Amino acid sequence: MTTTAPPRGETQHHEHVPLRHPRLPRWAPLLVAAMAASAGGLLALSLGWGVVGWVIVAALLHLVGLPLWSRVIENRRAAVDRLVTSLIWIALVIAFIPLVSLLSTVVRNGASELTSTFLNNSMRNVIGEGGGIYHALVGTLLITLGATVISVPIGLMTSIYLVEYGALSRLASAIRFLVDVMTGIPSIVAGLFAFALFALLTGDPGIHFGFGGSVALSLLMIPIVVRSAEEMLKLVPTDLREASYALGVPKWRTIVRVVLPTALSGIITGVTLAIARVIGETAPLLIIAGSTDSVNFDLFHDQMATLPVFIYYSYTQPGLNPEISRGYAWGAALVLIIIVMALNAIARIVGRFFAPRTGR
Amino acid sequence: MSSTVTRTRSPRRLGDLVFSGAAFGASLTILVALAGVAIFLIIQGIPALGAEPSDLNGKPNLLAYTAPLVFGTLWAALIAIVIATPLAIGVALAVSHYAPKRLASPLGYLVDLLAAVPSVVYGLWGIGFLGPRLVPPYEWLDQHLGWLPFFAGPASTTGRTILTAAIVLAIMILPIITAISREIFSQTPRLNEEAALALGATRWEMIRLSVLPYARSGIVSAVMLGLGRAMGETMAVAMVLSASGVVTFNLISATNPSTIAANIALSFADATGLKVNALVATGLVLFVITFVVNFAARAIVSRADRSVSR
Amino acid sequence: MATSIDISDLDIYYSDFLAVEGVNMTIPARSVTALIGPSGCGKSTFLRTLNRMHEVIPGARVEGKIVVDGHSLYDPAVDPVEVRRQVGMVFQRPNPFPTMSIADNVLAGLRLNTRRLKKSDAEDVVERSLTRANLWNEVKDRLKKPGMSLSGGQQQRLCIARAIAVEPQVLLMDEPCSALDPISTSAIEDLIHELRTEYTIVIVTHNMQQAARVSEDTAFFNLAGAGRPGQLIEMNPTKKIFSVPDEEATEAYISGRFG
């Protein structure tokens, strides 16, 4: 059956890697990294480039040096493999630099602002020192609460429809698809919608009130609630539902008494994450909730201050005391980040510790 | 006996009817809301067709007002995608195929943290920290690569350029692209990976042969979702960009195009009359663009799902 | 150039767990050796150490020696990438690359090794490999069609063509017919019979009749006891194993008393 093929292993086209060949030691990447770092440091020092320049030069030296060494000692394919590995690790480092930089900048600039005055006072009649974010905190709390009150029932009932009633019907698929598309609505469009809606309803073209912000935010929250609740409901085993039906319990009672409690911790996690997502939204609140210096407890009348909008105006329209105003902005930003991170952490904890034991 | 059976049936049916009706109604609310967004934006936007140049920043008509904003939106989003996509794919591969298993989920969680930061804080960081830091590189670019239209300069002294805004946007959309790509890379069938390895492939060659071809449509979809997000992002751009509404490809100067979203955020509070309607009209344009992009992205994914499950 | 494989004192570990212990055997050149034994006895694990695929699993390692053509496979200076080119593998389920055409699948391994493959050379290799794999006549008119458009048996022959296109010395087959229908199985067995003149073939199979049909030598693996590592119990010419085996355990397995 053999054709007139050239003797195996010696075909002229094939650059077979030899079975045994010199290989770089296991610590080779670390060595190159160390050498690149020192060479880069020397270069940066002599050219006066600073830390950033040093890091960039060192990274480039590593990217070129290791594959080159590998090409000489090992072979081309190993060199390419090492180049890609280096690129991937560098990508990972680059991705984390902004996170570290941002968090440290906010903490550095905002930590000194976190006094009790700051947290307990509004900006009413304040020029310069002595102001605080109390009004913004109240506004954020109320508006987000309003958004939650709108989104959770609608979102939850929709996910119940998708899982328990509609299942694989075409309408359910369409709704599922549109919910997914809804997650891509720009937040400012949601704000414009709320404005357009209420401007028409009230006939007031300059309408500003907190509840409008709640409506805009709920447009952003609902898709998140629907998707996460749907996942949680799907996780509830069918056997559980069937056991309930077999006992003669009607479908709606089964859902309320059996399915929902089982999925509850997951749903709470999803809702908490949705809240964390919208609590930092600025654009829609800029448009419909507006801004003010005083505390406003009424969602349905007058402008209401919120943390994100406060940050925005304090920094970009600082007024007579830019230093102090900008300090307020950083302080408020720190508070906002703490709130968001806390919500995320709570969501994770609820998800992990209160999940029904599946015991499988 | 039969009478007791029929008696107990009705209340159950009523409860079920009410509940299922409520569930169905909630779902319809979603459809109504989406339609409502379009409708109300149109209602408030249409009057802008008759707006005067005084309402439109001096532009002769609504089209001339909107077009540069559309340019700015697309341009900034494009740069952001160009920066973010290679990074995101690299990070996703790092988590799915390069990092030790124990590190994989903490790393993934940390990347997701980037998504948790509110956009206004990104804007604050961009204008207060990143912008000033980028001035030396911009000046370097102006000096050495100024012959390219992108770096024609003169370099901005505050660093508040569209490139800075695009960099911030890139960081903001990185988590989305990474999360979806990571998911897909991890789902590459082990059998295909082993087929590549058994032929004598290095790790990168295995990824090139088995993982990336498998993930192609998923990556496209992830990038499109990132694109949609970048186009709709408001605060980071509004704060970082020093915009004058020109149409230019110059990345480092102090005169920059503005985006639809940023323009609305900056102008809405002081707008009156038809100016408001003009802003709503541009918002409608943004809604349509992002809707189309998101629709296409999801359609690609569902088509790929269907063909794989064949 | 196909060579024999010498295994001495091989212990196979998954991290700290000893899965297979103390294997000593010689796999003769240019013949078919079958590995049989009950589920979980370590025959597939053993097979995968022959082309260093075992270590792809994190924490997996071996101790002992495996020598192919005078080279110890696990020597630190040896590149696993090249080991896998010289020792090819066909898997239990056919796995052509889904996004590639039939021709591209055959050439996939070759393209890794060759910078510039001239079109005429590529076509030669495709025809040669597919002919050796008994698939050429069925697909010669549709080489550009996707590899996944073939039937299960054809896909497996495509995988065999892909494996032999890089000109290995040894071909490992891990239950290659278990996912196929009887007709495709028979086609593959005929193929194995032809290939053995050029390659050393090691085939893991659950099907004792198949082992009896295709192999010249058979190795019987078994677990030493519940929770104990797997071991090589007996290796002998196939005719002997299936008629008068040396070990009692072999006899018991062959006659179906366990397994």
How close are the terminal C-alpha atoms of chain C, in Å?
37
Residue A14 confidence (pLDDT) above 60: no
In the sheet with C60-68, reading across from the earlier edge strand, the strands are: C71-72, C60-68, C5-14, C17-27, C230-237, C217-223, C32-36, C200-204, C170-174, C87-90
Q: What is the pLDDT of residue A5?
A: 41
Interface test with chain C among B96, B103, B199, B308, by most C beta carbons within 10 Å: B199
Which pLDDT tens digit goes with each residue over A107-138? 999 888 888 888 888 888 777 777 888 889 99
| Cα–Cα distance list, C22 to B228, B255, C253 (Å) | 60, 76, 21
Of all residues in chain C, the one with the smallest CA distance to A7 is C1
Contact at 8 Å (CB) between C63 and C37?
no
Q: How far is C227 from chain A (nearest CA, A)?
A: 23
Q: How far is B239 from chain A (nearest CA, A)?
A: 7
Domain ranges of chain A: 28-109, 119-353
Band (pLDDT 50/70/90 cuts) for residue B181 is very high
- Counting one residue from chain A and one from chain B, the pairs whose CB atoms sit within 8 A come to 264
Contact at 8 Å (CB) between B220 and B301?
no
Output A147 or A6, whichever has higher pLDDT: A147
Give the separation between CA B258 and CA B239, rounded to whole angstroms: 11
Q: What is the pLDDT of residue B224?
A: 92
| Cα–Cα distance list, B160 to A321, B155, B165, B246, B254 (Å) | 22, 10, 7, 15, 7
Which pLDDT tens digit goes with each residue over A348-358? 888 888 776 55
For C66, the 3-state DSSP assignment is strand
Q: Per mean pLDDT, which range of B221-235, C84-98, C110-124 is the poorest?
A: C110-124
User: Of A176, A174, A156, which is closest to residue B26 (Cα–Cα)?
Assistant: A156
Percent of chain C residues past pLDDT 90, beyond the cut: 64
User: Of B242, B282, B291, which is closest to residue B261 (Cα–Cα)?
Assistant: B282
Which pLDDT tens digit goes with each residue over B26-61? 888 888 988 899 898 898 888 888 878 877 877 888
Q: What is the pLDDT of residue B310?
A: 38
User: Of A158, A258, B197, A358, which is closest to residue C109 (Cα–Cα)?
Assistant: B197
Q: What is the pLDDT of residue A11?
A: 42
Give the right CATH number for A119-353 from 1.20.1260.10, 1.10.3720.10, 3.40.50.1980, 2.60.40.2250.
1.10.3720.10
ipTM score assigned to the predicted complex: 0.88
β-pairing verdict for C5-14 and C60-68? antiparallel
> Which element (helix H / strand E) includes C18?
strand C17-27
* Residues from chain C contacting residue B100 (CB–CB below 8 Å): 58
Mean pLDDT of A24-36: 86
Mean pLDDT of A172-194: 89
Contacts of B292 (CB under 8 A, 6+ apart): none
Q: How far is C112 from chain B (nearest CA, A)?
A: 7
CB–CB contact A154 B36 (8 Å)? no
Give the separation between CA A155 and CA A159, rounded to whole angstroms: 6
Band (pLDDT 50/70/90 cuts) for residue A359 is very low
Contact at 8 Å (CB) between A230 and A162?
yes
User: Of A156, A192, A122, which is closest to residue A274 (Cα–Cα)?
Assistant: A156
Give the separation between CA B104 and CA B92, rounded to whole angstroms: 10
CB–CB contact C167 A18 (8 Å)? no
Domain ranges of chain B: 61-309
Mean pLDDT of C41-59: 92
* Residues from chain A contacting residue B18 (CB–CB below 8 Å): 252
CB–CB contact A1 C194 (8 Å)? yes
CB–CB contact C162 B199 (8 Å)? yes
Of all residues in chain C, the one with the smallest CA distance to B214 is C99
Which pLDDT tens digit goes with each residue over A53-76? 788 888 888 898 898 888 888 888
> Please, which residues 169-228 of chain B have a Cβ atom closer than 8 Å to chain A?
171, 174, 178, 200, 202-205, 207, 225, 228
* Residues from chain A contacting residue C76 (CB–CB below 8 Å): 23
Q: What is the pLDDT of residue C77?
A: 84
Percent of chain A residues past pLDDT 90, beyond the cut: 32
CB–CB contact A13 C75 (8 Å)? no
Q: What is the pLDDT of residue C76?
A: 85
Which tokens hold the place of A192?
A: 């414009």
Interface test with chain C among A13, A74, A76, by most C beta carbons within 10 Å: A13
- The shortest CB-CB distance from B290 to any of A160, A184, A277 is to A184
For C9, the 3-state DSSP assignment is strand
Q: What is the pLDDT of residue A86?
A: 93
Which pLDDT tens digit goes with each residue over C174-187? 999 998 999 989 99
Q: What is the pLDDT of residue B88?
A: 95
| Cα–Cα distance list, B43 to A147, B38, B119 (Å) | 25, 9, 29
For residue B141, give the amino acid letter: L
Full DSSP string of C187-231:
HHHHHHHHHTTTSEEEEE-S-HHHHHHH-SEEEEEEESSTTSPEE
Q: Per mean pLDDT, which range of A46-50, A155-159, B10-14 is the poorest?
A: B10-14
DSSP C78: B
At the fourth CATH level, which superfamily is domain B61-309? Answer: MetI-like (1.10.3720.10)
A78 touches chain B (CB under 8 A): yes
Contact at 8 Å (CB) between C179 and C152?
yes
Q: How far is C141 from chain A (nearest CA, A)?
A: 21
Chains that touch C (3 or more CB pairs under 8 A): A, B
Interface test with chain B among A151, A161, A306, A314, by most B beta carbons within 10 Å: A161
